[in-house]
Structure 1
Amino acid sequence: MKKVSTKLLSLALMLLTVMTSFAQKERSEIEDKYKWNFTDLYESDQAWSAAKDKLAQEMEKVSSYKGQLGTSAASLLNYMQYSEQLMKEGYRLYIYASLKSDVDLRDADNMGRVKEIRQVFIEYGQKASFVTPELAAIPEATMKQFIAEEPKLKIYEMGLMDVYRMKMHTLSELEEAVMAKTGMITGTANAAFSVFSNAEMPRATIMMDGKETELTPASFSVARSSADREMRQEATKVYWDNYLKYEGTFGEMLNGQVKVNVFRAKARNYNSALEAAVKPNNIPVEVYKSLVENVNNNLETFHRYLALKKRMLGVDELVYSDMYAPTVKGVELKYSYEEAQELILTSLKPLGKEYVEVVDKAFNSRWIDVYPNPGKRSGAYSNGGAYDVHPYILMNYTDQYNEVSTLTHELGHTMHSYFSNKTQPFATADYATFVAEVASTFNEVLLNDMMQKKLKDDDLRLSLLMSMLDGFKGTLFRQTQFAEFELAIHEAAEKGTPLTGKVLTQMYGDITRKYYGHDKGVCTVEDNIAVEWAAIPHFYMNFYVYQYSTSFVASQALAAKVLEGDKEATKRYIEFLSSGGSDYPIELLKKAGVDMTSSEPFDKAIEAMNSIMDEIEAILNKKK
């Protein structure tokens, strides 16, 4: 393992380095060290196919457990261990297929494997549809007796007892079988969106660096953050005008996903699609709605940030296409991938030797697929679902500072998965989505704190502080804006409103203009920005985005204690990462030191944001 430097060598020079716009290479042209090693999962596609066929055969045996689950503790244990082995291998199979597909969505063989393993799960779901109703039929007292009699059932206790909390949403065996069969169609909208938006959608072009460039998500990310205002305005106009051409198509896809969510909620006797999304993890609906309300009540703080952006850009009118522009002239926060590694490893030292060593291993053992290539899925993610293997990170790295933040963000997910898989049995290793973004945004806080302490030059500090504010904008305000839109479109669908592309654009535009103070003259939102919803993959993830905001709030509070040198806080945080799904997410966060049912964490986050803005204004006033 390479030694982690204790100093950021030539940091100022790194900050001032001017990089050329990022150009995509064909995947075959990218060095292997920057690409995933799929053999950690399966040696070959043939080995995957053999494992898939074996799993399908094992799944046929599930019917032998029918009518046996409530007969004895031993019978119940036999089924739980059988099911666990199936799921462990099934997740591994699915991850291999989905990762290979994501590096080139144009490859029909890769896409075919995803469909094959999905079909295996769908067929198993139909065969195993008796399980949940049969478990729910076991008297609660009997279940507790079984767990007391058989110590090996203890690791399954939370899941087994949760059956009773969710009993009113459990259907009959026949109804569960029908619901399982709907799996053949319920993923269609998301799959169509992924293929169309990442691989088949015709792209517009603009002139960048003297040559005609296709505006992919990666190249648009570079163009919209250009210091050249004409460049970013042209790129923003061309990019979203192109999406408007396919407004109807994207509308049908998102409408299809919303219909799936509403159908599932109604079929399982939930009051709303929102309740159906949050109740399985025991999250009160009020937590979601309180987040939206709290953010709306603090839009003045967001507008203060926008006013600072306008002041630093020196423009008469701030427009939406200015949102990603560098705010300090002559300073561009850009780094090579190797420089990003050094920054990240240094910033994570407060979390201890093991944490840093595992992150270093991730860099050097091909856990990360680094660069964009034609056909590759856009964005970034970490997938830690292969319990007996390591997590995998997808990146589309383009040398910008926000990509350094994204990388350490995804490494936070990876470390959460690493510690959970290492510490917890498979039954409780998978953590709830509500806490999934805590570790990721926690890492971002550590990175920003380190950078802030290292920089002394006013311009460099201003650039970093604005980058930190951009984090508040992007995670707390923007993701809550998304959450408000997602709630609005589901509520509209539940009332029978047809969600056409034009309706979705109108709804998204209205919410965006409210957040950015369009009618108050704070920031002008160009008309075509209203179609931005069409490019957001998270709207196909069933009320996921609000958790970015809640997790951001939680991580701000937890990281502050660690950065103060509180050893107990650091210990509690590592224990939190190691807890997986061993308790409900609200309770796990309370043990770590933050109560998300109160407004205190949110209030502290807003206080921290205002403190950063105070510092920026002080520097700006000094420079007059």
Structure 2
Amino acid sequence: MFCKLGTLFTYIMRKKTQLITTVMLFSTTIAVSQMKVREELPEKYKWDLSHLYATDDVWKTEKERLQQKMKEAASYKGKLTQSANVLLQALELNSSLIKDMARLSSYASMKADQDTRVTKYAGMNQELQQLFSEYGALTSYLEPELLTLKENQLSAFLAKEKALVTYKFYLTDLLRKRAHRGSEEVEKVLAYSSLMSGNAANIYSTFINAEFPYPEVDLNGERVKLNAANFALYRASEDRGVRSKAFATYFGKLNEFQRTFGAQLYGNINAALFATKARNYDSTLKMALDGGNIPTDVFHNLIKNVNGNLKTFHRYLNLRKRMMGVDTLHYYDLYAPLVAKVDLSYTVEEAEENILKSLKPLGTDYIEVSKKAFEERWIDMYPNEGKRSGAYSNGSGYDVHPYILMNYNGKYNDMSTLTHELGHTMHSYLTNKKQHYANSDYSIFVAEVASTLNEELLNDYMLKQIKDDETRLAILGNYLEGAKGTLFRQTQFAEFEYMIHDKVAKGEALTGEDFDTMYLALTKKYYGHDQNICVVDDNVKSEWSYIPHFYYNFYVYQYATSFTASTALSEKVLRGTDADRQKYLNFLASGSTKYPVDLLVDAGVDMNTSEPFDLTIAKINKVMAEMESILSRQGK
């Protein structure tokens, strides 16, 4: 397909990053205190990237072939609207080239993520960025030329050349956004601007993953380097002193680089503002949502609804305080286990068994493909030195299969994260199998539905197996942790993101200190600091500086909207009819054949109404009521 975002590089990178789940956003424990080097890990737990390219040399040869092949695209300049057949040829060539470049990108980026310290693969990624920029400039005439099509002319082309139906949605959507596309010269400048527009995000990623001087601290009598992985581990400690010290040390070190992080984030917002003005949008929010034709009311209503239901969030915080038996709940208590004596630990093999059994409502075909992910090395399972933190699914290798990056550490949250990423993988797999590459992309807005629904199925399955009160409390608590991290926390991030973009758009220069002040005040509001519901210590002001999703521009709100959509859909999958389940599977295979809000309507949920949000709040309160009942029965 043609690049929908103005630059090919941005489009392909979104294909990968739209499916990321990082430790910064979820409470997944992702590492042990002593990581192994990659060579020490069994092969069966490492992904096999040879399915993409047998060797680095094969990758290089393919890149060189594409460098020559892409020159053919220039031959269609000035001819796109001459005939239906010529238009089809140009579209097919462009789609094929982008597909192959996305595969190159998948290989290079995942090789780099295995060990971020290896400069060779960072270099390969940089080579591709230049290639994408060159191709974007080479084909800068495409969309301006297509935008000269009249609606009746397009209809005539579609009637004459039946194969053009593959590109109908793309073409009609492009004409819808006619006011936001420029001349050939403007498009060429925007294509070249990709060489600079991603610099802030690239510098941030390199710094935080490979060069940030993580502090050392004594915890539990052991000298520990408190990197991102170990911070996730020790912030979940049962020892309150360890948690407090881990937060103070880690956030304290982040604060030492407040000015650097502030300059990076401010630069990223300015890059988004440049694109917004160049594309004639009213705001960076409007530009970000317009790609999927999502009304900005969906974003604003989410923030309004969450703020109007903070009492439900505060009920959760009071429940956590009760279960932990503390007089005052602090922010550093929020990742500690709710039920300290229950050891919810699972080997990879146990996790696989539980996950596959939980997927039974989705049918045997869904389960059989999911098995392949484990058996055919689609997953890079364990942490190793230098490996990228967090987890993601990468489905941009269209002709192969998706891949999953994990940092599995044997806890329930890790099992939950694994099925989460498997949901993404199945979404990509089914779409890639059903749709032409031109329609195989899908919006970030729907990306998290499949993943969070998988988590719902796992929770439902585990609760059916477990009758013990303490373990049920732990599983129910895990659901609440997901609600905290996905609905409330992501909406808080979205509101912070809106605030900072709005200020820059009004001409304000923001520094790290400004980000600190806004983030701390907002966090205190969400967590009821002034009502003494949860004390937000001053060091929390630095938390914004290690959230990578702020560099994706209005990405995180979709975690929250997807959570509400998947809650509504999970009820239909678990307790509905076969027709309900089939509608959901059809949704997973729909790709970008419709706008995301319309796809969800077809699946059975309307995001233009408050129903999904209301159902989610009702479920959260129902879970809390059961937990409170168990606690009362236990005399706690």
TM range, normalised to the smaller chain? over 0.9
Which whole-Å CA distance do the structure 2 matches of 1:112 and 1:36 have between them? 21
Counterpart position of 1:46: 57
Deviations 1:502-557 (A, max 9, x none): 11111111111110000111000111111111111111111110000000000000
Residue 331 of structure 1 pairs with residue 342 of structure 2: yes
Which whole-Å CA distance do the structure 1 matches of 2:527 and 2:343 have between them? 25
Which whole-Å CA distance do the structure 2 matches of 1:20 and 1:88 have between them? 34
Which whole-Å CA distance do the structure 1 matches of 2:85 and 2:339 have between them? 67
Query: 1:89 aligns to what SS in structure 2?
Result: helix
Counterpart position of 2:484: 473
Deviations 1:2-32 (A, max 9, x none): xxxxxxxxxxxxxxxxx99553111111111
Query: 1:437 aligns to what SS in structure 2?
Result: helix
Q: 1:20 to 1:163 in 2, by over 3 A?
A: closer
Letter in 2 for 1:351: L
Q: Which residue of 414, 418, 426 corresponds with 1:403?
A: 414
Residue 582 of structure 1 pairs with residue 593 of structure 2: yes
Which whole-Å CA distance do the structure 2 matches of 1:354 and 1:313 have between them? 43
Q: State, as a whole percentage, how many aligned pairs show the same letter.
A: 50
Counterpart position of 2:14: none
Which whole-Å CA distance do the structure 2 matches of 1:601 and 1:157 have between them? 31
Which whole-Å CA distance do the structure 2 matches of 1:399 and 1:193 have between them? 29
Q: Is the 8 A contact 1:22 1:398 kept in 2?
A: no
Q: Which residue of 223, 236, 250 corresponds with 1:212?
A: 223
Q: Is the 8 A contact 2:31 2:229 kept in 1?
A: no
Residue 126 of structure 1 pairs with residue 128 of structure 2: no
Counterpart position of 2:159: 148
Q: Which residue of 296, 301, 306 corresponds with 1:295?
A: 306
Residue 551 of structure 1 pairs with residue 562 of structure 2: yes
Give unmatched runs, 5+ long, in structure 1: 1-18
Matches within 5 A, 1:214-613: 214-613=225-624
Shift of the alpha carbon at 1:189? Answer: 0.9
Q: TM-score, normalised by structure 2?
A: 0.94
Q: Which residue of 67, 71, 87 corresponds with 1:60?
A: 71
Q: TM-score, normalised by structure 1?
A: 0.96
Query: 1:525 aligns to what SS in structure 2?
Result: coil
Bigger mean CA offset, 458-467 vs 336-345 = 336-345
Residue 102 of structure 1 pairs with residue 113 of structure 2: yes
Q: Is the 8 A contact 2:31 2:383 kept in 1?
A: no
Deviations 1:219-265 (A, max 9, x none): 11111111111111111111111111111111111111111111101
Which whole-Å CA distance do the structure 1 matches of 2:258 and 2:44 have between them? 39
Counterpart position of 2:15: none
Shift of the alpha carbon at 1:205? Answer: 1.8
Which whole-Å CA distance do the structure 1 matches of 2:49 and 2:401 have between them? 11
Deviations 1:150-182 (A, max 9, x none): 011010100011121000001011011111110
Which whole-Å CA distance do the structure 1 matches of 2:65 and 2:191 have between them? 21
Which whole-Å CA distance do the structure 2 matches of 1:468 and 1:163 have between them? 40
Which whole-Å CA distance do the structure 2 matches of 1:288 and 1:101 have between them? 34
Bigger mean CA offset, 111-120 vs 365-374 = 365-374
Which whole-Å CA distance do the structure 1 matches of 2:565 and 2:166 have between them? 28
Counterpart position of 2:12: none
Which whole-Å CA distance do the structure 2 matches of 1:241 and 1:597 have between them? 42
Which whole-Å CA distance do the structure 1 matches of 2:34 and 2:266 have between them? 34
Deviations 1:418-459 (A, max 9, x none): 000011111111111110000000000001111111111111
Q: Is the 8 A contact 1:65 1:79 kept in 2?
A: yes
Deviations 1:288-341 (A, max 9, x none): 011011000000000000000000000000000000111223113222222211
Q: Is the 8 A contact 1:218 1:398 kept in 2?
A: no
Shift of the alpha carbon at 1:207? Answer: 3.0
Bigger mean CA offset, 334-343 vs 556-565 = 334-343
Query: 1:137 aligns to what SS in structure 2?
Result: coil
Shift of the alpha carbon at 1:50? Answer: 0.7
Q: Is the 8 A contact 2:380 2:406 kept in 1?
A: yes
Query: 2:172 aligns to what SS in structure 1?
Result: helix
Query: 1:164 aligns to what SS in structure 2?
Result: helix
Letter in 2 for 1:571: Q
Shift of the alpha carbon at 1:210? Answer: 3.6
Q: 1:332 to 1:21 in 2, by over 3 A?
A: farther
Q: Is the 8 A contact 1:382 1:411 kept in 2?
A: yes
Query: 2:145 aligns to what SS in structure 1?
Result: helix
